[in-house]
Amino acid sequence: MLRIWGRLTSVNVQKVVWCADELGLRYERIDAGRDFGLVDTPEYRARNPNGLVPVIEDDGFVLWESNAIVRYLAARHGEGTLWPTDISMRADADRWMDWQATSFNPAIGPAFWQLIRTAPGKRDVAVIEAARDSGEQQLALLDAHLATHDFVAGPSFTMGDIPLGCSVDRWYKLPLAREAHPHVERWYAALRGRKGARQVVELGLA
Ligand SMILES: N[C@@H](CCC(=O)N[C@@H](CS)C(=O)NCC(=O)O)C(=O)O
């Protein structure tokens, strides 16, 4: 059976859990990381030398890097749905997964760390404000794209929506003043209604 290591409060673990739930896979999730520890044990490091979550094992095949895991599960179990058979559509899904990891998540990350993982007296308002502005700029770009696309890679939900769905979910849960992005809001509402998203959208930030 598929095994997933990682605490659910990690945005990168959320991607994998959401993907597995979308695909209706049976899996065991083992809490690891932060307060759960485990990531520094030799057994864990043998699976993921980075000592980070998530990592999966699937019939003896071990894989780390959350977006690579989402691609692997989608390719293995979601051909024609999460894994588009059309190469251009698949590249589009890939592109938005990379954009989540290299642009959107780094933009909003400092706001999350300040507001959720830093004690109130130690927070830096300037860092929060800069991350908010940067997140808004990135969301305006996504909003313009979603004005003409139902989902990030086209007319149907694909693997490309999952990493961004996790990050945007985090963004909307942060206690921040936000601007209106109607197309992102429409897309996020559609994602929230999916059975596969349940574990992620029902979770508070921690
Ligand atoms: N690029 C990696 C990043 C993994 C990563 O940074 N994971 C964080 C949680 S989001 C982590 O393991 N933090 C340490 C911990 O939880 O103990 C991926 O996408 O899988």
Cα 147 to averaged position of ligand 1 atoms, centre (Å): 32
Cα 115 to averaged position of ligand 1 atoms, centre (Å): 18
CB of 134 closer than 6 angstroms to any ligand 1 atom:
no
CB of 191 closer than 6 angstroms to any ligand 1 atom:
no
Could you identify the residue written with the tokens 């059976």? 1
pLDDT digits (tens, 9 = 90+) for 70-109: 999 999 999 999 999 999 999 999 999 999 999 999 999 9
Q: 3-state SS of 126-192?
A: HHHHHHHHHHHHHHHHHHHHHCCCCECCECCCCCCHHHHHHHHHHHHHCCCCCCCCHHHHHHHHHHH
Model confidence, pTM? 0.98
pLDDT of residue 61: 98
Could you identify the residue written with the tokens 């908010």? 132
- Using CA atoms, how far residue 100 sits from 38, 46, 62, 142, 168, in Å, is 27, 28, 23, 10, 9
Sheet of strand 27-30, all strands in order from the earlier edge strand to the far edge: 27-30, 2-5, 55-58, 61-64
User: If you take atom 9 of ligand 1, which residue's CA is the nearest one?
Assistant: 10
CB of 34 closer than 6 angstroms to any ligand 1 atom:
yes
pLDDT of residue 65: 98
37: left (phi over 0), alpha (psi -120 to 50) or beta: left
CA gap 35, 58 in Å, rounded: 25
pLDDT digits (tens, 9 = 90+) for 155-181: 999 999 999 999 999 999 999 999 999
pLDDT of residue 72: 98
CA gap 191, 22 in Å, rounded: 11
Q: Is the peptide bond before 54 cis (omega within 30 degrees of 0)?
A: yes
Across 30-49, average pLDDT? 98
- pLDDT confidence bin for 66, thresholds 50/70/90: very high
Give yes or no for a contact between 55 and 13, defined as CB atoms under 8 angstroms apart: no
pLDDT digits (tens, 9 = 90+) for 120-155: 999 999 999 999 999 999 999 999 999 999 999 999
Q: DSSP letters of 38-72?
A: -TTSHHHHHH-TT--S-EEEETTEEEESHHHHHHH
The amino acid present at 197, given as its one-letter code, is A
